[in-house]
């Protein structure tokens, strides 16, 4: 019974039979399509394997594709008027790359290259023969065998070993530079023999070209190959091991913007390393361009003035006048108008290599590399006195018209403190103390402040805080790498409070002094100094400016807590310094534009009689559009800030406003001032970015 029931359930009913039939037909069709697909696939694989298999195997074995980066040119650097200061020049470079799987006789390749190239990176023609022998004899392979006696053979061996060293340096499967900057003759010789030089390539690269040579040296900076110390950092950023990067100045600070985007060259090579096909897969893109705040004509004039005035001082006998610095800034915006340091050097020297560079470095660069404007620490001397007077007025330690009698010396603690050269100035007030640069007035302010504090340390700390409002002892924020804060003294004796009031305690950088005087000039606003006003994209043509990508706007870092009336008192005292009886009267006699200045003469080494000369100032007096700092080190005996730095400052202003002999070449004001005294300060085209006084 049960068996009959199961049989009945397994048999489909009359209604189910058509449904099962349709399902069977669909499965059959699906299986048939799948069969055709796999049959076609098997047939294709059979054709590839049996008909073309040997051919494809040969090609796979014979060819491989390498993706080689094409170095992108760096962006240009231009002055505010669009004059190109830094660009790139194409150069031929010999590189060596041993591809994976290759077995190149590098010794043989190096020997051939040594015969084709004029010289190696060390320029052996200039290396003394004795030095060539010494270097070769120290190599392990030549320790137990005699060296050639013929000079030509000896030098060839040395050159070959230098090339071998370059071929084996760095990463194995990255291109190694053998020699940069090949001559036309060298390019021709190497090109004709490339089939005998496996792994060797001739590539066109770009080298940095500083169009004016020794110009704006410490601002622009230079590039160098990536060194071992920073290798890992740059490789992580996507650089190639043989790339060059900015290491100083704007080249370093704006590395990310100046760096371009590398292209890619796809190179197909056979199993013997011979190039079968080359294709540019991605075109390199040049980096962004920098447009400076500096007018190249004004900068050139300032550099020329520094050189001429230093040479004049050196003819006076004592004193080396070994260094001079001149800075200028728009006090209303923070734009740097000039940054000149003497002596300087030609940045193109960094394109040399080997012994040629070593010789050039010792002769022209060594001792001149530092940008003293942001690194150097200089005692400000009497240029700090405007700040001291402001401190006395603001803290109620004196009043604008209070008169003190200057006898030329006063006892502080247990010893006498004298005025400069022991000079007695008689009765002075806030304005005339600045005009005559009276030390006694400043000492008195320091002593009065000390009486309000419970320790000398507290007094010095209070002074630090006050001066820092103007940018002294703190970083200015300029767009250059490695800015220092100067040198800070730590001795807290009473006498050092007196020294502080006349600028013989801490040491500041010139850029700090520039920010300080600019803050006084513009009514108490501490502006961030800057050198790059715009970042632009690559221009479509070979010349001109590309699209604007970024614009630097003036930035107020802080406002000093000083009554504007007291700032005006101090400015008036600085104006008096250029008039009869003032410390800068001689330097600015007959100058047609009203100027406010403060001189400084710093006794660096009293035993040896070494003094530094300084001057800070601004012009025009009523509507300042330029603030400046001038420093000359180790001036001749008897010279002061007024007589050594003063002529430089005057000639700078002549160049800026287009006056007198210093305006040679019709150097115009970078900010748009006219070329005559009448136009100085006129109009509102240079209205300050900060609120007007």
Which segments of 294-359 are extended strands (E)? 323-329, 336-342
Q: Which pairing describes strands 84-96 and 263-269: parallel, antiparallel, or unpaired?
A: unpaired
Model pLDDT, residue 2: 46
116 SS3 class: helix
Sequence-ordered list of residues with C-beta below 8 angstroms from that of 147, at least 6 positions apart, any chain: 133, 136, 137, 154, 157
Model pLDDT, residue 186: 86
Sequence-ordered list of residues with C-beta below 8 angstroms from that of 386, at least 6 positions apart, any chain: 434, 517, 520, 570, 573, 574, 598
Residue-wise pLDDT for 107-158, tens only, equals 888 888 888 888 644 454 466 777 776 677 667 677 677 777 677 777 777 7
Give the architecture-level CATH label for domain 58-97+207-292+532-553: Alpha-Beta Complex (3.90)
Mean pLDDT score across all residues of the chain = 84
Domain locations along the chain: 58-97+207-292+532-553, 294-362+580-688, 372-524+560-576
- The class that CATH gives domain 372-524+560-576 is alpha beta
Model pLDDT, residue 252: 97
574 SS3 class: helix
Percent of the chain's residues with pLDDT above 90: 52
**CA torsion, ordered 170, 173, 174, 177, to nearest 10 deg:** 70
Q: Report phi then psi at 57, rounded to 5.
A: -65, -40
If you search the block for the tokens 């622009």, which residue do you land on? Answer: 220
What is the C-alpha separation between 10 and 30, in angstroms, rounded? 26
Model pLDDT, residue 672: 39
What is the C-alpha separation between 283 and 263, in angstroms, rounded? 5
Show the tokens assigned to 223.
């590039």
Model pLDDT, residue 684: 31
Model pLDDT, residue 663: 62
What is the C-alpha separation between 44 and 651, in angstroms, rounded? 87
- Say how far residue 296 (Cα) sits from the centre of its chain: 17
pLDDT at 539 over 60: yes
H or E element that contains 69: strand 64-70
Confidence band for 284, pLDDT divided at 50, 70 and 90: confident
Identify whether the C-beta of residue 656 lies closer than 8 Å to the C-beta of residue 669. Answer: yes
If you search the block for the tokens 């900076």, which residue do you land on? Answer: 221
Confidence band for 271, pLDDT divided at 50, 70 and 90: low
Its pTM stands at: 0.81
Identify whether the C-beta of residue 209 lies closer than 8 Å to the C-beta of residue 130. Answer: no
| Least confidently predicted of 212-221, 238-247, 495-504 | 238-247
Instruction: Give the Cβ contact number of residue 604 at 10 Å.
Output: 15
Percent of the chain's residues with pLDDT above 70: 79
Identify whether the C-beta of residue 573 lies closer than 8 Å to the C-beta of residue 431. Answer: yes
Show the tokens assigned to 654.
């002549």
Model pLDDT, residue 43: 67
Q: How far apart are the first and last CA of the chain?
A: 118
Burial 203-242 (b: 16+ CB within 10 A, else e): bebbbbbbebebbbbbbbbbbeebeeeeeeebeeeebeeb
Confidence band for 679, pLDDT divided at 50, 70 and 90: very low
DSSP state of 25: H
Model pLDDT, residue 688: 37
Does the domain at residues 294-362+580-688 carry the CATH identifier 3.30.450.330? Answer: yes
Confidence band for 349, pLDDT divided at 50, 70 and 90: very high
pLDDT at 631 over 90: yes
The number of helices, as runs of H, and strands, as runs of E, in the chain is 22, 23
pLDDT at 668 over 60: no
User: Is the dihedral angle over the CA atoms 579, 301, 510, 631 positive or is it negative?
Assistant: negative
pLDDT at 673 over 70: no
What is the C-alpha separation between 156 and 135, in angstroms, rounded? 13
Model pLDDT, residue 47: 56
Q: What's the rounded mean pLDDT across residues 6-16?
A: 53
Residue with more model confidence, 95 or 69? 95
Half-sphere exposure of 63 (CA within 13 A, CB side): 14
Sequence-ordered list of residues with C-beta below 8 angstroms from that of 456, at least 6 positions apart, any chain: 450, 492, 493, 494, 496, 497
Residue-wise pLDDT for 568-623, tens only, equals 999 999 999 999 999 999 999 999 999 999 999 998 887 777 899 999 999 999 99
Cα–Cα–Cα angle for 284, 285, 290, nearest 5°? Answer: 145
User: Is the dihedral angle over the CA atoms 471, 475, 480, 482 positive or is it negative?
Assistant: positive
Residue with more model confidence, 103 or 10? 103
In order of 80, 325, 553, the CA distances from 549 in angstroms are: 16, 33, 13
pLDDT at 689 over 70: no
Specify the length of the chain in residues: 693
Identify whether the C-beta of residue 472 lies closer than 8 Å to the C-beta of residue 389. Answer: no
Residue-wise pLDDT for 307-317, tens only, equals 999 999 998 76
Model pLDDT, residue 505: 92
Model pLDDT, residue 18: 58
Model pLDDT, residue 33: 61
Model pLDDT, residue 102: 63
């Amino acid at each position: 019974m049960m068996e009959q029931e199961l049989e009945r359930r397994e048999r489909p009913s009359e209604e189910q039979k058509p449904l099962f039939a349709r399902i069977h037909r669909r499965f059959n069709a699906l299986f048939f399509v799948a069969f055709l697909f796999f049959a076609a696939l098997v047939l294709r694989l059979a054709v590839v394997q049996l008909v073309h298999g040997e051919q494809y195997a040969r090609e796979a074995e014979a060819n491989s594709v390498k993706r080689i980066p094409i170095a992108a040119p760096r962006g240009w650097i231009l002055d505010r008027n669009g004059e190109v200061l830094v660009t790139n020049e194409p150069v031929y470079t010999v590189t060596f790359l041993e591809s994976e799987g290759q077995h190149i006789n590098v010794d043989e390749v190096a020997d051939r290259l040594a015969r084709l190239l004029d010289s190696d990176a060390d320029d052996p023609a200039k290396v003394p023969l004795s030095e060539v022998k010494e270097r070769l004899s120290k190599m392990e392979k030549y320790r137990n065998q005699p060296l050639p006696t013929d000079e030509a053979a000896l030098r060839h061996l040395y050159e070959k070993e230098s090339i071998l060293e370059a071929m084996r340096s760095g990463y194995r499967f990255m291109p190694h530079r053998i020699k940069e900057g090949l001559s036309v003759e060298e390019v021709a010789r190497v090109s004709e023999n490339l089939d005998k030089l496996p792994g060797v390539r001739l590539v066109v690269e770009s080298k940095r070209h500083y169009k004016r040579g020794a110009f704006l040296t410490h601002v622009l900076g230079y590039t160098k190959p990536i060194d071992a110390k920073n290798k890992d950092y740059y490789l992580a950023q996507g650089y190639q091991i043989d790339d060059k990067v900015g290491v100083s100045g704007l080249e370093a600070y704006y590395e990310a913007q100046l760096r371009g985007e590398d292209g890619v060259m796809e190179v197909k090579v056979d199993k013997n390393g011979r190039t079968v096909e080359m294709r540019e897969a991605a075109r390199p893109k040049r980096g962004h361009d920098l447009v400076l705040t500096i007018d190249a004509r004004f900068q050139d004039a300032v550099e020329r003035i520094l050189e001429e005035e230093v040479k004049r001082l050196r003819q006076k006998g004592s004193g080396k006048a070994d260094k001079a610095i001149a800075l200028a800034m728009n006090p209303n915006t923070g734009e740097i108008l000039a940054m000149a340091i003497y002596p300087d050097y030609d940045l193109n020297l960094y394109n040399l290599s080997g012994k040629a560079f070593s010789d050039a470095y010792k002769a022209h660069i060594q001792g001149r590399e530092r940008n003293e404007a942001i690194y150097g620490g200089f005692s400000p001397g009497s240029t700090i006195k405007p700040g001291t007077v402001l401190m006395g007025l603001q803290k109620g330690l004196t009043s604008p018209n209070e008169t003190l009698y200057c006898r030329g010396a006063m006892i502080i603690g247990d010893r006498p403190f004298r005025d400069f050269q022991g000079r007695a100035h008689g009765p002075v007030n806030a304005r005339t103390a600045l005009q005559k640069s009276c030390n006694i007035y400043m000492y008195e302010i320091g002593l009065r402040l000390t009486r309000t504090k419970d320790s000398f340390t507290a007094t010095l700390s209070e002074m630090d805080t006050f001066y820092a409002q103007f940018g002294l002892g703190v970083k200015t924020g300029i767009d250059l790498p490695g800015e220092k804060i100067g040198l800070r003294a730590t001795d807290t004796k009473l006498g050092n409070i007196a020294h502080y009031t006349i600028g013989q305690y801490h040491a500041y950088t010139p850029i700090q002094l520039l920010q300080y005087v600019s803050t006084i000039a513009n009514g108490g606003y501490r502006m961030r100094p800057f050198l790059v006003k715009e970042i632009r994209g690559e221009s479509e043509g070979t010349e001109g400016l590309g699209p604007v990508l970024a614009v630097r706007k003036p930035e107020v870092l802080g406002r000093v807590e000083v009554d504007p009336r007291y700032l005006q008192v101090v400015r008036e005292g600085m104006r008096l310094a250029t008039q009869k009886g003032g410390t800068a009267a001689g330097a600015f006699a007959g100058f047609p534009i009203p100027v406010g200045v403060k001189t400084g003469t710093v006794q660096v080494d009293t035993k040896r009689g070494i003094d530094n000369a300084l001057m800070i100032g601004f012009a025009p007096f009523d509507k300042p559009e330029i603030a400046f700092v001038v420093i000359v080190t180790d001036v001749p005996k008897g010279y002061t800030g007024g007589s050594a730095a003063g002529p430089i400052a005057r000639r700078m202003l002549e160049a800026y406003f287009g006056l007198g002999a210093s305006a040679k070449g019709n150097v115009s004001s970078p900010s748009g001032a006219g070329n005559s005294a009448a136009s100085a300060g006129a109009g509102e085209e240079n209205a300050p970015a900060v609120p007007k006084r």
